[in-house]
């Protein structure tokens, strides 16, 4: 097991991508599914205000996860390249510093649960009828943030060493356990949204124990020892520089949620916030397969870039682009054809179904462009190139979606429809930007034909690197 990461540089690319992506896709799908089940139980057991409360609290959860994402994704990129360069001791030190950073974040979140939670919820748009539900859901989440942070970050690390199957297991375990606990806490113990939150924390705590066992049992390519738990600010800086785009993307997602909730409350009230809470879960379920492909790609990209195997690097990039675009096409067809059926999974309210189906069709009008966006941003992240990774990470949500969400509802009295239209327009603009970066760095991503001078290719670096 210690040398499992070496297959990233030797196995045929199509087989390797399949072996790494399928478990990642299954794991991400199950994770998305358990979020869907969570929403379903809340909708059935509490109602649309319960969904609205969870939706309002979600931006704060995303901020916590943004830091975990920066640590986990940045650390995974650094570790995969260290392993590719045969620098295992350095990789072990990176892992030790990741644990230190997650612990600090968790302490801050724990304190925040008792101090600034309610003011933040009010700032983010919680109305008097939504506030009680938002507080009940968010409080246990913030207390248990150490489990969320460690589970999220460690999943990226496990994938970075090529063990995608175990990474999949770490996503399936909390999903299954949460699905079992939700009805017990929500209905059996009559705890409402607080019950859903407690079930989620318990589920994440369980997988934290499993991951700790993995790292201490000798099954990992990495070693865990007290000698590696020494703060090294140079490693922390390297991790956070690479992970910063993921942090901004998550914080951008939080800001996006706040902007959407504020505009929906202004033009449609808490009803539309609740509708979006359901639509958001459908969206998550649709996007996860593409993220799974990216997660399968990233350790291959990082390892082969570190090992200077540029032919394999180019092959994985273009296979990934083709696969993710194919998935995008399937998502587009499903969302256009069956939005009412998707909404009926959560509710029998005709008004909610009608509003949700309309929003799904508008939001996914240009879904075929999403795959290329996902892959291009993750590509630069895996290569350790912070500047283009940052720009592409913030493009859709921060540069395009938030301004459009704030602008379009006021134009031509579009109201709520303007909020939904912001999504496909953002997809179009982000896609154009992604293609621009890929074309600009074509010397690295295109392999010369036989007989051509390969020196330029072998030494090429993206022009956008920092």
Separation of alpha carbons 73 and 83, rounded Å: 15
Separation of alpha carbons 233 and 52, rounded Å: 41
Listed in sequence order, the residues at least 6 apart from 454 whose beta carbon sits closer than 8 Å to its beta carbon are: 448
What is the DSSP code string of 369-394?
A: GHHHHHHHHHHHHHTT-HHHHHHHHH
The lowest-confidence range among 117-121, 137-141, 218-222 is 218-222
Confidence at 424, pLDDT banded by 50, 70, 90: very high
Which of the residue ranges 113-122, 383-392, 433-442 has the most confident prediction, judged by mean pLDDT?
433-442
Residue 361 has pLDDT above 60, yes or no: yes
């304190």: which residue's tokens?
A: 111
Angle made by CA atoms 63, 65, 68, in degrees to the nearest 5: 120
Is the sign of the CA dihedral 7, 13, 16, 17 positive or negative?
positive
Yes or no: say if 427 and 421 are a contact pair by the CB < 8 Å rule.
no
Q: Which two three-digit tokens encode residue 183?
A: 């009805």
């990992």: which residue's tokens?
A: 220
What is the DSSP code string of 134-201?
A: HHHHHHHHHHTHHHHHHHHHHHHHHHHTT-HHHHHHHHHHHHHHHHHHHHIIIIIS--HHHHHHHHHH
Separation of alpha carbons 394 and 256, rounded Å: 11
Confidence at 221, pLDDT banded by 50, 70, 90: low
Taking every pair of C-alpha atoms in the chain, what is the biggest distance, in angstroms? 72
Yes or no: say if 260 and 275 are a contact pair by the CB < 8 Å rule.
no
Q: Which two three-digit tokens encode residue 38?
A: 């969570």
Question: How do the domains of the chain map onto residue ranges?
Answer: 12-459
pLDDT tens for 35-83 read 777 777 887 777 777 777 777 777 777 777 777 777 777 777 777 777 7
pLDDT tens for 164-185 read 777 778 778 888 888 888 888 8
Separation of alpha carbons 291 and 103, rounded Å: 26
Yes or no: say if 74 and 244 are a contact pair by the CB < 8 Å rule.
yes
pTM of the full predicted structure?
A: 0.64
Q: Write down the pLDDT at residue 206.
A: 86
């999403």: which residue's tokens?
A: 370
Separation of alpha carbons 123 and 177, rounded Å: 33
Separation of alpha carbons 397 and 427, rounded Å: 9
Q: Which two three-digit tokens encode residue 221?
A: 């390519």
Q: Roughly how many angstroms between the first and final C-alpha of the chain, as a whole number?
A: 35
Residue 463 has pLDDT above 60, yes or no: no
Looking at per-residue pLDDT, the higher value among 150 and 408 belongs to: 408
Please write down the HEC assignment for all residues of 65-102.
HHHHHHHHHHHHHHHHHHHHCCCHHHHHHHHHHHHHHH
Range 126-139 average pLDDT: 79
Q: Write down the pLDDT at residue 228.
A: 66
Q: Write down the pLDDT at residue 332.
A: 92
Q: Which two three-digit tokens encode residue 53?
A: 């409360």
Please write down the HEC assignment for all residues of 398-440.
HHHHHHHHHHHHHHHHCCHHHHHHHHHHHHHHHHHHHHHHHHH
Q: Write down the pLDDT at residue 360.
A: 92
């Amino acid at each position: 097991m210690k040398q499992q990461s070496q297959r990233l540089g030797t196995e045929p690319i199509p087989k390797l991508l399949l072996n790494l992506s399928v478990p990642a896709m299954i794991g991400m799908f199950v994770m998305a599914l358990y979020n869907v089940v969570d929403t379903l139980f809340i909708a059935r057991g509490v109602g649309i205000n319960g969904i609205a409360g969870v939706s309002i609290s979600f931006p704060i959860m995303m901020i916590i996860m943004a830091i975990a994402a920066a640590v986990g994704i940045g650390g995974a990129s650094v570790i995969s390249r260290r392993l590719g360069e045969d620098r295992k001791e350095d990789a072990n030190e990176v892992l030790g510093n990741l644990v230190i950073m997650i612990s600090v974040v968790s302490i801050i979140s724990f304190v925040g649960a008792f101090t600034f939670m309610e003011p933040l919820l009010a700032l983010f748009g919680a109305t008097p009828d939504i506030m009680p539900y938002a507080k009940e859901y968010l409080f246990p989440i913030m207390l248990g943030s150490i489990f969320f942070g460690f589970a999220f970050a460690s999943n990226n690390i496990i994938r970075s060493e090529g063990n995608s199957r175990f990474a999949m297991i770490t996503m399936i375990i909390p999903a299954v356990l949460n699905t079992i606990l939700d009805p017990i806490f929500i209905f059996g113990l009559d705890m409402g949204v607080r019950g859903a939150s407690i079930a989620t924390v318990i589920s994440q705590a369980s997988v934290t124990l499993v991951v700790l066992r993995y790292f201490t049992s000798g099954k990992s390519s990495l070693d865990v020892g007290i000698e590696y738990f020494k703060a090294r600010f140079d490693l922390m800086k390297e991790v956070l520089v690479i992970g910063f785009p993921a942090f901004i993307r998550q914080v951008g997602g939080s800001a996006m949620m706040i902007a959407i909730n504020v505009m929906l409350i202004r033009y449609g009230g808490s009803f539309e916030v609740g509708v979006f809470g359901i639509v958001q879960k459908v969206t998550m379920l649709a996007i996860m397969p593409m993220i799974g492909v990216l997660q399968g790609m990233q350790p291959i990209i990082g390892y082969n870039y570190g090992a200077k195997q540029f032919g394999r690097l180019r092959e994985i990039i273009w296979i990934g682009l083709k696969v993710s675009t194919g998935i995008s096409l399937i998502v587009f067809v499903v969302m256009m054809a069956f939005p009412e059926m998707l909404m009926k999974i959560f509710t029998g309210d005709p008004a909610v179904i009608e509003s949700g189906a309309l929003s799904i069709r508008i939001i996914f009008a240009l879904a075929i462009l999403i795959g290329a966006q996902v892959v291009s941003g993750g590509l630069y992240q895996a290569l350790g190139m912070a500047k283009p990774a940052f720009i592409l990470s913030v493009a859709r949500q921060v540069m395009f979606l938030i301004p459009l969400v704030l602008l379009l509802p006021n134009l031509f009295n579009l109201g709520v429809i303007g909020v939904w239209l912001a999504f496909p327009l953002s997809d179009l603009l982000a896609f154009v930007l992604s293609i621009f970066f890929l074309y600009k760095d074509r010397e690295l991503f295109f392999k010369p034909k036989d007989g051509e001078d390969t020196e330029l290719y072998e030494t090429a670096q993206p022009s956008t690197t920092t």
